[in-house]
Structure 1
Amino acid sequence: MAYQVIIIEDDPMVAAIDRQYVETDSRFQVAHVLKSGGEALGVLENCRPDLIILDFYTPSMDGMEFVDRLHAMGQYPAIIMVTSANDREIVHGLLSRGVLDYLVKPFAFARFRQAMDKFLQTQNLLSCSQESSLLDQQAIDRLIRRQERPEPGGNQMSKGLNAATLERVRSFLSASRGQALTSEEIAEQVHLSRITIRRYVNYMVETGELASSIDYHTGGRPSIRYSYTGQTAEP
Protein backbone atom coordinates (compact mmCIF):
# COMPACT_ATOMS: atom_id res chain seq x y z
CA MET A 1 0.00 0.00 0.00
CA ALA A 2 1.35 3.42 -0.95
CA TYR A 3 2.36 6.01 1.62
CA GLN A 4 -0.20 8.83 1.72
CA VAL A 5 1.19 12.33 1.11
CA ILE A 6 -0.32 15.78 1.61
CA ILE A 7 1.22 18.80 -0.11
CA ILE A 8 0.65 22.25 1.43
CA GLU A 9 1.75 24.92 -1.04
CA ASP A 10 -0.07 28.06 -2.21
CA ASP A 11 1.99 28.49 -5.41
CA PRO A 12 0.26 26.30 -8.05
CA MET A 13 3.45 25.92 -10.10
CA VAL A 14 5.52 24.72 -7.13
CA ALA A 15 2.66 22.49 -5.94
CA ALA A 16 2.54 20.86 -9.37
CA ILE A 17 6.30 20.24 -9.30
CA ASP A 18 6.11 18.80 -5.78
CA ARG A 19 3.31 16.48 -6.86
CA GLN A 20 5.15 15.35 -9.97
CA TYR A 21 8.30 14.65 -8.00
CA VAL A 22 6.37 12.64 -5.40
CA GLU A 23 4.52 10.64 -8.04
CA THR A 24 7.70 9.51 -9.78
CA ASP A 25 7.79 6.84 -7.08
CA SER A 26 4.83 4.45 -6.99
CA ARG A 27 5.40 3.88 -3.26
CA PHE A 28 3.84 7.31 -2.65
CA GLN A 29 0.35 8.61 -3.40
CA VAL A 30 -0.66 12.26 -3.17
CA ALA A 31 -3.91 12.34 -1.22
CA HIS A 32 -4.43 16.12 -1.18
CA VAL A 33 -2.83 19.31 -2.50
CA LEU A 34 -3.85 22.20 -0.23
CA LYS A 35 -3.14 25.94 -0.30
CA SER A 36 -2.83 26.74 3.40
CA GLY A 37 -2.16 25.32 6.81
CA GLY A 38 -5.67 26.23 7.93
CA GLU A 39 -7.23 24.32 5.04
CA ALA A 40 -4.94 21.37 5.78
CA LEU A 41 -5.91 21.22 9.47
CA GLY A 42 -9.55 20.89 8.44
CA VAL A 43 -8.72 17.98 6.14
CA LEU A 44 -6.49 16.38 8.76
CA GLU A 45 -9.39 16.02 11.17
CA ASN A 46 -10.44 13.03 9.05
CA CYS A 47 -7.14 12.08 7.44
CA ARG A 48 -3.86 10.75 8.83
CA PRO A 49 -1.15 11.06 6.17
CA ASP A 50 2.24 9.41 6.41
CA LEU A 51 4.10 12.41 5.01
CA ILE A 52 3.46 16.15 4.59
CA ILE A 53 5.33 18.34 2.10
CA LEU A 54 5.06 21.79 3.69
CA ASP A 55 5.81 25.35 2.60
CA PHE A 56 6.52 27.71 5.48
CA TYR A 57 4.78 30.71 3.96
CA THR A 58 1.12 29.91 3.33
CA PRO A 59 -2.07 31.91 3.98
CA SER A 60 -3.66 31.91 7.47
CA MET A 61 -0.65 30.56 9.38
CA ASP A 62 3.04 29.91 8.98
CA GLY A 63 4.73 26.54 9.06
CA MET A 64 5.65 26.64 12.73
CA GLU A 65 2.11 27.38 13.86
CA PHE A 66 0.83 24.65 11.58
CA VAL A 67 3.21 22.05 13.03
CA ASP A 68 2.33 23.08 16.59
CA ARG A 69 -1.40 22.80 15.92
CA LEU A 70 -0.91 19.50 14.10
CA HIS A 71 0.94 18.07 17.09
CA ALA A 72 -1.76 19.42 19.41
CA MET A 73 -4.23 17.30 17.41
CA GLY A 74 -2.13 14.25 18.28
CA GLN A 75 -0.78 13.79 14.77
CA TYR A 76 2.94 13.34 14.13
CA PRO A 77 3.44 12.54 10.44
CA ALA A 78 6.84 12.99 8.83
CA ILE A 79 7.25 16.52 7.48
CA ILE A 80 9.55 17.68 4.69
CA MET A 81 9.85 21.46 4.38
CA VAL A 82 10.01 22.75 0.80
CA THR A 83 10.25 26.50 1.20
CA SER A 84 12.09 29.75 0.49
CA ALA A 85 12.32 30.41 4.25
CA ASN A 86 15.97 30.11 5.21
CA ASP A 87 16.15 32.48 8.18
CA ARG A 88 18.25 30.91 10.93
CA GLU A 89 15.50 31.14 13.57
CA ILE A 90 12.89 29.62 11.27
CA VAL A 91 15.13 26.74 10.29
CA HIS A 92 16.08 26.11 13.93
CA GLY A 93 12.46 26.32 15.07
CA LEU A 94 11.28 23.77 12.53
CA LEU A 95 14.18 21.39 13.07
CA SER A 96 13.49 21.52 16.81
CA ARG A 97 9.91 20.51 16.02
CA GLY A 98 11.18 17.34 14.39
CA VAL A 99 10.84 18.00 10.66
CA LEU A 100 12.43 15.17 8.69
CA ASP A 101 14.21 17.31 6.11
CA TYR A 102 14.45 20.91 4.92
CA LEU A 103 14.73 21.93 1.25
CA VAL A 104 15.23 25.54 0.22
CA LYS A 105 13.70 26.69 -3.08
CA PRO A 106 14.80 26.39 -5.79
CA PHE A 107 15.77 22.77 -5.29
CA ALA A 108 16.98 20.02 -7.60
CA PHE A 109 15.10 16.78 -8.14
CA ALA A 110 18.05 14.79 -6.78
CA ARG A 111 17.80 16.66 -3.44
CA PHE A 112 14.04 16.08 -3.31
CA ARG A 113 14.64 12.39 -4.03
CA GLN A 114 17.15 12.28 -1.17
CA ALA A 115 14.51 13.64 1.22
CA MET A 116 11.99 11.03 0.07
CA ASP A 117 14.60 8.28 0.48
CA LYS A 118 15.23 9.54 4.01
CA PHE A 119 11.54 9.04 4.77
CA LEU A 120 11.55 5.53 3.28
CA GLN A 121 14.61 4.44 5.19
CA THR A 122 13.24 5.81 8.45
CA GLN A 123 10.04 3.86 7.86
CA ASN A 124 12.04 0.72 7.11
CA LEU A 125 14.03 1.08 10.31
CA LEU A 126 10.88 1.57 12.37
CA SER A 127 9.20 -1.48 10.88
CA CYS A 128 12.26 -3.76 10.68
CA SER A 129 11.18 -5.79 13.70
CA GLN A 130 7.56 -6.86 13.44
CA GLU A 131 7.91 -9.25 16.38
CA SER A 132 8.76 -6.56 18.92
CA SER A 133 7.89 -2.93 19.56
CA LEU A 134 11.42 -2.39 20.85
CA LEU A 135 14.35 -1.01 18.85
CA ASP A 136 17.92 -1.99 19.62
CA GLN A 137 20.67 0.61 20.06
CA GLN A 138 21.98 0.19 16.51
CA ALA A 139 18.57 0.87 15.01
CA ILE A 140 18.08 3.92 17.24
CA ASP A 141 21.52 5.23 16.32
CA ARG A 142 20.72 4.86 12.63
CA LEU A 143 17.45 6.72 13.09
CA ILE A 144 19.20 9.56 14.89
CA ARG A 145 22.02 9.83 12.36
CA ARG A 146 19.64 9.23 9.46
CA GLN A 147 22.23 7.37 7.40
CA GLU A 148 20.09 7.12 4.31
CA ARG A 149 22.58 7.79 1.57
CA PRO A 150 24.16 4.66 0.07
CA GLU A 151 27.80 4.07 0.81
CA PRO A 152 30.20 4.85 -2.06
CA GLY A 153 30.67 1.79 -4.20
CA GLY A 154 27.57 0.13 -2.74
CA ASN A 155 25.33 -2.16 -4.73
CA GLN A 156 22.89 0.30 -6.25
CA MET A 157 21.24 -2.45 -8.29
CA SER A 158 19.71 -3.76 -5.06
CA LYS A 159 16.91 -1.23 -5.69
CA GLY A 160 15.25 -3.88 -7.86
CA LEU A 161 16.60 -2.60 -11.16
CA ASN A 162 17.62 -4.93 -13.95
CA ALA A 163 21.10 -4.48 -15.41
CA ALA A 164 20.01 -5.31 -18.96
CA THR A 165 17.10 -2.86 -18.80
CA LEU A 166 19.38 -0.19 -17.37
CA GLU A 167 21.80 -0.68 -20.25
CA ARG A 168 18.92 -0.44 -22.72
CA VAL A 169 17.83 2.90 -21.28
CA ARG A 170 21.43 4.09 -21.02
CA SER A 171 22.18 3.24 -24.65
CA PHE A 172 19.20 5.22 -25.89
CA LEU A 173 20.01 8.25 -23.76
CA SER A 174 23.68 8.13 -24.69
CA ALA A 175 22.69 8.15 -28.37
CA SER A 176 20.38 11.10 -27.62
CA ARG A 177 23.10 13.15 -25.90
CA GLY A 178 22.31 16.86 -26.08
CA GLN A 179 18.54 16.35 -25.92
CA ALA A 180 16.39 16.96 -22.83
CA LEU A 181 13.69 14.30 -22.82
CA THR A 182 10.69 13.58 -20.61
CA SER A 183 10.14 10.14 -19.12
CA GLU A 184 7.17 9.75 -21.48
CA GLU A 185 9.36 10.42 -24.52
CA ILE A 186 11.99 7.98 -23.31
CA ALA A 187 9.36 5.32 -22.59
CA GLU A 188 7.96 5.64 -26.10
CA GLN A 189 11.37 5.19 -27.71
CA VAL A 190 12.60 2.23 -25.64
CA HIS A 191 9.16 0.56 -25.47
CA LEU A 192 8.85 0.40 -21.69
CA SER A 193 6.18 1.76 -19.37
CA ARG A 194 6.49 5.28 -17.98
CA ILE A 195 6.53 3.91 -14.44
CA THR A 196 9.46 1.64 -15.30
CA ILE A 197 11.34 4.46 -17.02
CA ARG A 198 10.88 6.75 -14.03
CA ARG A 199 12.56 4.19 -11.76
CA TYR A 200 15.57 3.97 -14.05
CA VAL A 201 15.96 7.69 -14.76
CA ASN A 202 15.65 8.42 -11.02
CA TYR A 203 18.50 6.00 -10.40
CA MET A 204 20.58 7.55 -13.19
CA VAL A 205 20.03 11.03 -11.75
CA GLU A 206 21.24 9.77 -8.36
CA THR A 207 24.39 8.30 -9.88
CA GLY A 208 25.10 11.41 -11.96
CA GLU A 209 24.53 9.86 -15.39
CA LEU A 210 21.53 12.11 -16.03
CA ALA A 211 20.83 15.73 -15.21
CA SER A 212 17.23 16.73 -14.54
CA SER A 213 15.59 20.07 -15.21
CA ILE A 214 12.07 21.46 -15.03
CA ASP A 215 10.31 22.61 -18.19
CA TYR A 216 7.79 25.33 -17.34
CA HIS A 217 6.87 25.99 -20.99
CA THR A 218 4.47 23.11 -21.45
CA GLY A 219 1.19 25.00 -21.59
CA GLY A 220 0.07 23.03 -18.54
CA ARG A 221 1.71 21.23 -15.66
CA PRO A 222 5.52 21.56 -15.64
CA SER A 223 7.44 18.49 -16.77
CA ILE A 224 10.78 17.02 -15.76
CA ARG A 225 13.33 16.58 -18.55
CA TYR A 226 16.43 14.42 -18.47
CA SER A 227 19.69 14.86 -20.35
CA TYR A 228 22.62 12.46 -20.52
CA THR A 229 25.86 13.62 -18.87
CA GLY A 230 28.01 10.54 -19.39
CA GLN A 231 29.24 10.67 -15.79
CA THR A 232 28.92 7.23 -14.27
CA ALA A 233 29.08 6.58 -10.56
CA GLU A 234 28.99 2.83 -10.95
CA PRO A 235 32.18 0.83 -10.34
Structure 2
Amino acid sequence: MKTIQVLLVEDDPMVREVNRQFIERVDGFEVIDMAPNGIKGIEKIKELSPDLVLMDIFMPEQDGVESLRQIRHQNLEVDCITVTAANDVQTIQQILHLGVYDYIMKPFTFERMEQTLLNYRLFKEKMGAVEEVNQQELDEMMGQTKQANSEPESVQPFSQELPKGFNRATLAKVLQYLKQSNNGASADDVAAGIGVARVTARRYLDYMEKNQMIHVDIQYGSVGRPVNQYFFEE
Protein backbone atom coordinates (compact mmCIF):
# COMPACT_ATOMS: atom_id res chain seq x y z
CA MET A 1 0.00 0.00 0.00
CA LYS A 2 1.18 3.52 -0.75
CA THR A 3 2.41 5.79 2.03
CA ILE A 4 -0.48 7.31 3.95
CA GLN A 5 -0.26 11.08 3.77
CA VAL A 6 -1.20 12.89 6.96
CA LEU A 7 -2.17 16.51 7.63
CA LEU A 8 -1.60 17.57 11.23
CA VAL A 9 -3.93 20.31 12.56
CA GLU A 10 -2.76 21.56 15.98
CA ASP A 11 -2.25 25.08 17.35
CA ASP A 12 0.55 24.33 19.84
CA PRO A 13 3.92 24.24 17.99
CA MET A 14 5.55 21.92 20.53
CA VAL A 15 2.64 19.46 20.46
CA ARG A 16 2.62 19.62 16.65
CA GLU A 17 6.26 18.61 16.55
CA VAL A 18 5.83 15.76 19.05
CA ASN A 19 2.83 14.45 17.11
CA ARG A 20 4.75 14.71 13.83
CA GLN A 21 7.62 12.67 15.25
CA PHE A 22 5.22 10.05 16.63
CA ILE A 23 3.43 9.71 13.29
CA GLU A 24 6.60 9.42 11.24
CA ARG A 25 7.99 6.74 13.55
CA VAL A 26 5.26 4.45 12.22
CA ASP A 27 6.11 2.79 8.92
CA GLY A 28 3.95 3.83 6.02
CA PHE A 29 2.96 7.28 7.30
CA GLU A 30 4.20 10.71 6.23
CA VAL A 31 3.20 14.13 7.56
CA ILE A 32 2.87 16.22 4.41
CA ASP A 33 1.96 19.49 6.12
CA MET A 34 0.74 21.09 9.35
CA ALA A 35 -1.83 23.75 10.15
CA PRO A 36 -2.29 25.89 13.29
CA ASN A 37 -6.10 26.07 13.23
CA GLY A 38 -9.19 24.70 11.54
CA ILE A 39 -9.44 27.41 8.90
CA LYS A 40 -5.94 26.70 7.61
CA GLY A 41 -6.59 23.01 8.02
CA ILE A 42 -9.61 23.07 5.70
CA GLU A 43 -7.63 25.07 3.14
CA LYS A 44 -4.80 22.51 3.19
CA ILE A 45 -7.20 19.58 2.91
CA LYS A 46 -8.57 21.10 -0.30
CA GLU A 47 -5.08 21.91 -1.57
CA LEU A 48 -3.24 18.71 -0.67
CA SER A 49 -5.94 15.99 -0.50
CA PRO A 50 -4.35 14.07 2.40
CA ASP A 51 -5.51 10.57 3.28
CA LEU A 52 -5.78 11.31 6.98
CA VAL A 53 -6.13 14.36 9.24
CA LEU A 54 -5.07 14.39 12.89
CA MET A 55 -7.17 17.17 14.41
CA ASP A 56 -6.93 18.98 17.73
CA ILE A 57 -10.22 20.27 19.17
CA PHE A 58 -9.33 23.38 21.18
CA MET A 59 -7.84 25.81 18.63
CA PRO A 60 -8.15 29.56 17.94
CA GLU A 61 -10.12 31.01 15.01
CA GLN A 62 -11.87 27.71 14.27
CA ASP A 63 -11.96 24.73 16.61
CA GLY A 64 -11.87 21.07 15.69
CA VAL A 65 -15.60 20.40 16.10
CA GLU A 66 -16.55 23.12 13.59
CA SER A 67 -13.76 21.96 11.28
CA LEU A 68 -15.08 18.40 11.33
CA ARG A 69 -18.57 19.71 10.57
CA GLN A 70 -17.24 21.58 7.55
CA ILE A 71 -15.31 18.55 6.33
CA ARG A 72 -18.51 16.50 6.37
CA HIS A 73 -20.74 19.31 5.03
CA GLN A 74 -18.39 19.90 2.10
CA ASN A 75 -18.02 16.15 1.47
CA LEU A 76 -14.24 16.32 1.67
CA GLU A 77 -12.92 12.79 1.22
CA VAL A 78 -10.54 12.52 4.12
CA ASP A 79 -10.45 10.37 7.27
CA CYS A 80 -10.06 12.08 10.64
CA ILE A 81 -8.61 11.19 14.01
CA THR A 82 -8.93 13.64 16.91
CA VAL A 83 -6.02 14.11 19.31
CA THR A 84 -7.21 16.30 22.15
CA ALA A 85 -7.43 16.99 25.87
CA ALA A 86 -11.23 17.31 25.60
CA ASN A 87 -12.73 14.72 27.95
CA ASP A 88 -16.28 15.93 28.58
CA VAL A 89 -19.05 13.66 27.35
CA GLN A 90 -20.82 16.35 25.32
CA THR A 91 -17.72 17.11 23.24
CA ILE A 92 -16.91 13.42 22.82
CA GLN A 93 -20.43 12.72 21.55
CA GLN A 94 -20.27 15.64 19.12
CA ILE A 95 -16.99 14.38 17.69
CA LEU A 96 -18.11 10.76 17.41
CA HIS A 97 -21.28 11.87 15.63
CA LEU A 98 -19.05 13.50 13.04
CA GLY A 99 -17.52 10.19 12.08
CA VAL A 100 -13.93 10.23 13.33
CA TYR A 101 -11.93 7.01 12.99
CA ASP A 102 -10.57 7.32 16.52
CA TYR A 103 -10.45 9.69 19.51
CA ILE A 104 -7.09 9.93 21.30
CA MET A 105 -6.98 11.80 24.62
CA LYS A 106 -3.98 13.81 25.76
CA PRO A 107 -1.70 12.90 27.40
CA PHE A 108 -1.03 9.75 25.41
CA THR A 109 1.88 7.44 24.72
CA PHE A 110 3.58 6.70 21.43
CA GLU A 111 2.22 3.16 21.72
CA ARG A 112 -1.36 4.45 21.79
CA MET A 113 -0.78 6.56 18.69
CA GLU A 114 1.05 3.72 16.96
CA GLN A 115 -1.76 1.26 17.60
CA THR A 116 -4.35 3.61 16.12
CA LEU A 117 -2.27 4.24 13.02
CA LEU A 118 -1.51 0.55 12.49
CA ASN A 119 -5.20 -0.29 12.86
CA TYR A 120 -6.08 2.47 10.40
CA ARG A 121 -3.53 1.28 7.85
CA LEU A 122 -4.80 -2.31 8.12
CA PHE A 123 -8.38 -1.08 7.72
CA LYS A 124 -7.50 0.85 4.56
CA GLU A 125 -5.55 -2.08 3.12
CA LYS A 126 -8.41 -4.50 3.66
CA MET A 127 -11.05 -2.08 2.37
CA GLY A 128 -8.99 -1.47 -0.74
CA ALA A 129 -8.66 -5.18 -1.47
CA VAL A 130 -12.34 -6.19 -1.59
CA GLU A 131 -15.62 -5.01 -3.05
CA GLU A 132 -17.96 -6.62 -0.51
CA VAL A 133 -17.62 -7.79 3.10
CA ASN A 134 -19.74 -9.71 5.59
CA GLN A 135 -20.41 -8.60 9.18
CA GLN A 136 -17.56 -10.59 10.71
CA GLU A 137 -15.06 -9.23 8.18
CA LEU A 138 -16.26 -5.67 8.76
CA ASP A 139 -16.03 -6.08 12.54
CA GLU A 140 -12.46 -7.31 12.17
CA MET A 141 -11.58 -4.40 9.89
CA MET A 142 -12.98 -1.88 12.35
CA GLY A 143 -11.36 -3.55 15.35
CA GLN A 144 -14.66 -4.14 17.15
CA THR A 145 -13.50 -7.31 18.91
CA LYS A 146 -10.33 -5.63 20.09
CA GLN A 147 -12.11 -2.46 21.21
CA ALA A 148 -14.51 -4.43 23.39
CA ASN A 149 -11.54 -5.41 25.54
CA SER A 150 -9.36 -2.36 25.02
CA GLU A 151 -9.12 -1.28 28.66
CA PRO A 152 -5.92 -2.12 30.52
CA GLU A 153 -6.04 -5.62 32.00
CA SER A 154 -5.47 -4.19 35.47
CA VAL A 155 -8.71 -2.19 35.16
CA GLN A 156 -10.99 -4.94 33.81
CA PRO A 157 -11.45 -6.89 37.07
CA PHE A 158 -12.95 -3.77 38.66
CA SER A 159 -15.62 -3.26 35.99
CA GLN A 160 -18.49 -3.99 38.41
CA GLU A 161 -16.86 -3.14 41.71
CA LEU A 162 -15.95 0.53 41.62
CA PRO A 163 -17.15 2.64 44.55
CA LYS A 164 -19.96 5.10 43.99
CA GLY A 165 -18.78 8.21 42.15
CA PHE A 166 -15.86 6.44 40.46
CA ASN A 167 -15.54 6.23 36.68
CA ARG A 168 -13.80 3.42 34.79
CA ALA A 169 -12.54 5.78 32.10
CA THR A 170 -10.88 8.03 34.68
CA LEU A 171 -9.41 5.00 36.42
CA ALA A 172 -7.92 3.86 33.11
CA LYS A 173 -6.47 7.33 32.44
CA VAL A 174 -4.79 7.43 35.87
CA LEU A 175 -3.35 3.98 35.30
CA GLN A 176 -2.12 4.88 31.81
CA TYR A 177 -0.48 8.07 33.12
CA LEU A 178 1.40 6.12 35.79
CA LYS A 179 2.47 3.50 33.25
CA GLN A 180 4.27 6.15 31.24
CA SER A 181 5.77 7.88 34.29
CA ASN A 182 9.05 6.02 34.78
CA ASN A 183 9.91 7.92 37.95
CA GLY A 184 6.44 7.75 39.45
CA ALA A 185 4.04 10.65 39.93
CA SER A 186 2.47 12.60 42.77
CA ALA A 187 -1.25 13.37 43.06
CA ASP A 188 -0.49 16.86 41.75
CA ASP A 189 1.31 15.38 38.72
CA VAL A 190 -1.58 13.06 37.91
CA ALA A 191 -4.18 15.80 38.35
CA ALA A 192 -2.35 18.11 35.96
CA GLY A 193 -1.55 15.31 33.52
CA ILE A 194 -5.10 14.04 33.00
CA GLY A 195 -7.00 17.26 33.72
CA VAL A 196 -8.81 16.52 36.99
CA ALA A 197 -8.83 18.14 40.44
CA ARG A 198 -6.11 17.10 42.87
CA VAL A 199 -8.66 15.69 45.33
CA THR A 200 -10.10 13.52 42.52
CA ALA A 201 -6.67 12.24 41.54
CA ARG A 202 -5.91 11.45 45.18
CA ARG A 203 -9.16 9.46 45.58
CA TYR A 204 -8.34 7.30 42.56
CA LEU A 205 -4.73 6.84 43.59
CA ASP A 206 -5.71 5.79 47.12
CA TYR A 207 -8.25 3.33 45.73
CA MET A 208 -5.77 1.85 43.27
CA GLU A 209 -3.07 1.55 45.94
CA LYS A 210 -5.46 -0.27 48.30
CA ASN A 211 -6.30 -2.70 45.50
CA GLN A 212 -2.61 -3.29 44.71
CA MET A 213 -2.82 -1.86 41.20
CA ILE A 214 -0.08 0.63 42.07
CA HIS A 215 2.30 1.15 44.94
CA VAL A 216 3.26 4.28 46.84
CA ASP A 217 6.64 5.51 48.03
CA ILE A 218 6.82 8.31 50.59
CA GLN A 219 9.57 10.73 49.60
CA TYR A 220 11.08 13.18 52.09
CA GLY A 221 12.52 16.45 50.91
CA SER A 222 14.79 18.83 52.76
CA VAL A 223 11.91 21.28 53.30
CA GLY A 224 8.17 20.80 53.76
CA ARG A 225 5.91 17.80 54.15
CA PRO A 226 6.71 14.37 52.67
CA VAL A 227 5.19 13.62 49.25
CA ASN A 228 3.51 10.40 48.19
CA GLN A 229 4.97 9.21 44.89
CA TYR A 230 2.87 6.60 43.07
CA PHE A 231 4.22 3.90 40.76
CA PHE A 232 2.54 1.43 38.41
CA GLU A 233 2.62 -2.08 39.84
CA GLU A 234 4.17 -4.39 37.22
| TM-score (norm. length: structure 2) | 0.59
Q: 1:48 to 1:148 in 2, by over 3 A?
A: farther
Partner of 2:210: none
Partner of 1:63: 64
Partner of 1:3: 4
Correspondence 1:1-235 to 2 at 5 A: 1-129=2-130, 133-147=131-145
Percent identity at matched positions? Answer: 28
Q: 1:111 to 1:144 in 2, by over 3 A?
A: closer
Q: 1:12 to 1:120 in 2, by over 3 A?
A: same
Query: Residue 69 of structure 2 aligns to a residue in which SS?
Result: helix
Specify the code of the residue in structure 1 equivalent to 2:59: T
Count of residues in Structure 1 that have an aligned counterpart in Structure 2:
152
Q: 1:32 to 1:147 in 2, by over 3 A?
A: farther
In the aligned structure 1, how far is the partner of 2:33 from the partner of 2:181?
25
Two-structure CA RMSD over aligned residues (Å): 2.4
The CA deviation at 1:145 is 4.5
The CA deviation at 1:148 is 5.8
Q: 1:98 to 1:143 in 2, by over 3 A?
A: farther
Specify the code of the residue in structure 2 equivalent to 1:32: D
Specify the code of the residue in structure 1 equivalent to 2:15: V
Greater Cα radius of gyration, structure 1 or 2? 2
Larger CA deviation: 120-129 vs 108-117: 120-129
**Residue segments in structure 2 that go unaligned for 5+ positions in a row:** 150-179, 183-233
Query: Residue 58 of structure 1 aligns to a residue in which SS?
Result: coil
The CA deviation at 1:144 is 4.5
Q: Is the 8 A contact 1:101 1:115 kept in 2?
A: yes
Query: Residue 10 of structure 1 aligns to a residue in which SS?
Result: coil
Q: Is the 8 A contact 2:22 2:110 kept in 1?
A: yes
Q: 1:39 to 1:61 in 2, by over 3 A?
A: same
**Residue segments in structure 1 that go unaligned for 5+ positions in a row:** 152-210, 214-230
Q: Is the 8 A contact 1:2 1:27 kept in 2?
A: yes
Q: Is the 8 A contact 1:117 1:148 kept in 2?
A: no
Q: Is the 8 A contact 2:26 2:114 kept in 1?
A: no
In the aligned structure 1, how far is the partner of 2:68 from the partner of 2:77?
9
CA deviations over 1:177-225 (Å, ceiling 9, x no partner): xxxxxxxxxxxxxxxxxxxxxxxxxxxxxxxxxx798xxxxxxxxxxxx
Q: 1:141 to 1:120 in 2, by over 3 A?
A: same
In the aligned structure 1, how far is the partner of 2:142 from the partner of 2:113?
20
In the aligned structure 2, how far is the partner of 1:20 from the partner of 1:124?
23
The CA deviation at 1:105 is 1.1
Query: Residue 118 of structure 1 aligns to a residue in which SS?
Result: helix
Structure with higher RCO (Cα < 8 A, 6+ apart): 1
| TM-score (norm. length: structure 1) | 0.59
Partner of 1:192: none
